[in-house]
A and B are shown apart, each in its own frame.
Chain A
């Protein structure tokens, strides 16, 4: 079936503008993750959604960042009043729910955000 999709693939915005990044997980996957990857760096955990549970927002770097997941499927990551340091690739991943711990995550292609 279809994999994780993200849109847009690239986004250029001006400092101070708001941006919305979208993630469509694999159908049936109840867990959804957002990560941020700066150039040449590893992945930085941002937020985690699992079913109907309250999301884990512990990785969000500031209150300018927020995310929601509607109907347990599509997720939107919103960055308000963007700053140049927000420039990065934003990756979304989904996985099946597991009681035994974290399972394989399937990643989308990412959204490359550039804040001028």
Chain B
């Protein structure tokens, strides 16, 4: 079964608006990462948040982690058309190297 599940599956917003995506997982983790994928090819790492962290920022990205709820959110502020992509969360099983990816959120930013 999936370790990470993103919500919503698809999101369409206007340029300049904020986009929020959520990820839920099932087991204990060491860290959680968010990746972006354009055009169904290679993934680009966005941000890593460790299990003892609650919030991280990187540019227009803000990631939160709530280990009690086993959930994370990715916020993209002031979205741009270039942010159009699929966004995946990936979690490791605590104590292992195995990374499990969710099914992704397809974000479309309309100019």
A: residues with CB less than 8 A from B are 4, 31, 33, 35, 37, 39, 41-43, 45, 48, 50, 56, 89, 91, 93, 100-110
Contact = CB atoms under 8 A, between A and B. Distances in A.
B88 A43 contact: yes
Contacts of A102: 30-31, 92, 96-99
A110 B37 CA distance: 11
A31 B99 CA distance: 12
Contacts of A103: 48
Interface size class of B (residues with CB under 8 A): 20 to 34
Interface of B: 2, 4, 30-31, 33, 35, 40-45, 48, 88, 90, 92, 94-104
6 contacts: A33-B99, A41-B103, A42-B103, A101-B31, A103-B48, A110-B40
Given A4-B42, A43-B88, A104-B33, 14 more contacts: A42-B88, A42-B103, A43-B43, A43-B90, A43-B101, A45-B98, A89-B40, A102-B92, A102-B98, A102-B99, A107-B35, A107-B43, A110-B40, A110-B42
Contacts of B2: 42
Contacts, number: 67
A48 B98 contact: yes
A69 B85 CA distance: 32
Contacts of B98: 45, 48, 56, 102
A100 B102 contact: no
A67 to B, nearest CB: 15
A50 B84 CA distance: 34
A91 B101 CA distance: 13
Contacts of A56: 97-98
Given A100-B30, A101-B30, A101-B31, A42 B102 contact: yes
Contacts of A105: 33, 43, 45, 90, 99
A33 B48 CA distance: 18
